[in-house]
A and B are shown apart, each in its own frame.
Chain A
Amino acid sequence: MIDDLLHIFYPRSYTLSNGKVVKEKFNWAPYITIIVIIFSLLCAKITGVKLSVLRDRGYQFFVMLKQMIPPNWSFWADVKKPMLDTIIMSVLGTVFGCLLGLPISFYLSNNFKLNKYYMAVHRGLLSVLRTLPTMIYASLISLVIGTGTLAGTISIAIFTYTICVKMLYEQIETIDMGPYEAMESTGASRVQCMINAAYPQVRGYFWSTVLYCFETNVRSAAILGYVGAGGIGVQINTQLRWRAYANTGLILFVLVITVVVIETVSREIRKKLVQG
């Protein structure tokens, strides 16, 4: 029994009748499991996780939810404008980010043999910028150009640009270069070749990227109001401060419906785009 347990950690070896020793394959799984458990306990200590708190105060999670239901429907007049603002902020941010990203991504994909150093620097900058969420940009930009939807739009555009360019240049690197070379041999300029031979190959993927960015942006735009970048987040923040949970309930209801509708529609369109 104990022997069986020990053999979890090191492989069994068998001696065959001809004297040969055969070993089982070494298994890393138990070691990894133990490391993960130790690490989890360490993290629990750092973050102060105690299960007893969850048991004693867990009901508090639902207290707020209960106060949100039923939502205060008469609050709709105050929700309409910020909700529309949030959606329009994401639309504009996505459009500007992707329109800027489309030409740049051609210059950053390595099958056109453009300037190597420019490419490396720009790609490096993009992967640094990509690590920061939209909210950090929003809090910086809203200080510089003042609070409001403009700051939100610009920060969404920056974030979209970083994501969109990466997704696009990875796709552009996989295209068939035959048409491009054929056009080049007829004497077309490089930009003409890119527009007429390279872009049509990634057109469907480009629009699907635009929709994907829009989806994620609508989700993340809701919180931007917290740092003063306009949209529905401002209302959520104020209503929570006043403990007007019925109003918050309506905001949340509208937000969830909007996000789900946009995601469902965009997913269907993307499926069609990818299949052609």
Chain B
Amino acid sequence: MTEKTYTVDGQLRKFPSPLPKFLIELAAIVVIYFLANYTLDFSSINDKGLKIAVAALKGLLHPSIELITRMDSSGLLYMLMETLAIAFLGTIIGIVLALPLAFLSSRNIAPRWVNYICLTIISIIRAFPAFMYGIMFVRVTSLGAYAGVLTMAVSSIGMLAKLLIEAIEDMNPGINEALDASGCSAFEKIRYGIIPQLSSNIISIVIYRLDINVKNASILGVVGAGGIGASLIFSIGKQAWDEVGAMLFGLVVLVLVLEYFSTRIRKKLAVGE
């Protein structure tokens, strides 16, 4: 047997050549350059923008105290409450709509052909962007928070159902079989077999989605479906930066507080008390 000799040069040659990697990077840069050239238009930049930017920064750092402390329906607190109400009610209605769909699309609950029908319904609902629902619901209920609630509800169904299906398909079949063997009725099987297994999952999913919905509620304002978004866009449009600062401040605080509690509760639910 001959002894293998290692040399620094030999080991270095064993390394794959860096050339293909370099070529890929070069190609990526060229592609990005051409894409940017095709789409981006730098001619819109002018020196007026700088003034606006300075004014905006000043306003954002000095939020309007008057708006924050105003207590009537045009004040910040009311807007935040409305946003929260839209998100909360939207999520509750969403989970009520998503639960039957999720049960019917789970392989261990319903037969295969029912699964396919329900999964198709869910993916059709999911495919449309949320603001499209906003536009359509505004026609039904006229401008306002009501349209926002319905939009939130429908646009939450997709994600809620997807997470619920995962939870339902993860259930332990042994528990239901044991209840069956001891002669439980269907109602008792749901009460003692299914609800205890799913309740913490469902609560955790709902809280998670509520978190997302509060973040998204500001988008709804653009299409006139209520919440803080409409006044925010309006204030940005008329460049009332102190109002914008106050609203952004309120929104950030609301979302951060909600995120904090949602993470804590979900951690507790996942670990068990």
Residue in A closest to B54 when the chains form the complex, CB atoms: A144
Residues of chain B within 8 A of A136, CB atoms compared: 218, 232, 248
Contact B40 A133 (CB under 8 A): no
Interchain CB contact (< 8 A) of A49 among B89, B127, B199? B89
Residue in B closest to A153 when the chains form the complex, CB atoms: B40
Using A47-B226, A132-B251, A140-B236 as known contacts, say yes or no to A149 and B139 having CB atoms under 8 A apart.
no
Residue in A closest to B254 when the chains form the complex, CB atoms: A131
* Distance of A90 Cα from B163 Cα, bound (Å): 26
* Residue from B81, B146, B216, B251 having most chain A Cβ neighbours under 10 A: B146
Contact B135 A133 (CB under 8 A): no
Interchain CB contact (< 8 A) of A133 among B49, B129, B216? B216
Chain A contacts with B in 217-252, Cβ cutoff 8 A: 219, 222-223, 226-227, 230, 240, 252
Contact A223 B139 (CB under 8 A): no
What does DSSP make chain A's interface, helix, strand, loop or mixed? helix
Q: Which bracket fits the contact residues of B?
A: 35 or more
Is B82 located at the chain interface by the 8 A CB criterion? yes
Contact B145 A133 (CB under 8 A): no
Chain A contacts with B in 130-167, Cβ cutoff 8 A: 131-133, 135-136, 139-140, 143-151, 153
Residues of chain B within 8 A of A135, CB atoms compared: 218-219, 222
Chain B contacts with A in 24-50, Cβ cutoff 8 A: 32, 35-36, 38-42, 44-46, 49-50
What does DSSP make chain B's interface, helix, strand, loop or mixed? helix
Contact B38 A88 (CB under 8 A): yes
Residue in A closest to B40 when the chains form the complex, CB atoms: A150
* Distance of A126 Cα from B37 Cα, bound (Å): 30
Is A29 located at the chain interface by the 8 A CB criterion? yes
- Separation in Å of the B170 CB from the closest CB of chain A? 19
Contact B219 A85 (CB under 8 A): no
Contact A150 B144 (CB under 8 A): no
Residues of chain A within 8 A of B53, CB atoms compared: 144
Residue in A closest to B44 when the chains form the complex, CB atoms: A146
Contact B215 A139 (CB under 8 A): no
Contact A256 B252 (CB under 8 A): no
Residues of chain B within 8 A of A64, CB atoms compared: 135-136, 139
26 pairs, CB–CB < 8 Å, chain A vs chain B = A40-B88, A43-B84, A43-B85, A44-B89, A47-B89, A48-B145, A48-B146, A49-B149, A61-B140, A88-B38, A91-B32, A92-B39, A131-B251, A133-B215, A135-B218, A135-B219, A139-B233, A139-B236, A144-B52, A145-B44, A146-B45, A150-B44, A150-B45, A226-B131, A226-B222, A252-B132
A interface residues (Cβ-Cβ under 8 A, vs B): 29, 36, 39-40, 42-44, 46-50, 53-54, 57-58, 60-61, 63-65, 84-85, 88-89, 91-92, 95, 127-128, 131-133, 135-136, 139-140, 143-151, 153, 219, 222-223, 226-227, 230, 240, 252, 255-256, 259-260
B interface residues (Cβ-Cβ under 8 A, vs A): 32, 35-36, 38-42, 44-46, 49-50, 52-53, 56, 81-82, 84-86, 88-89, 92, 123, 127-129, 131-132, 135-137, 139-141, 144-146, 148-150, 199, 215-216, 218-219, 222-223, 226, 232-233, 236-237, 239, 248, 251-252, 255-256, 259
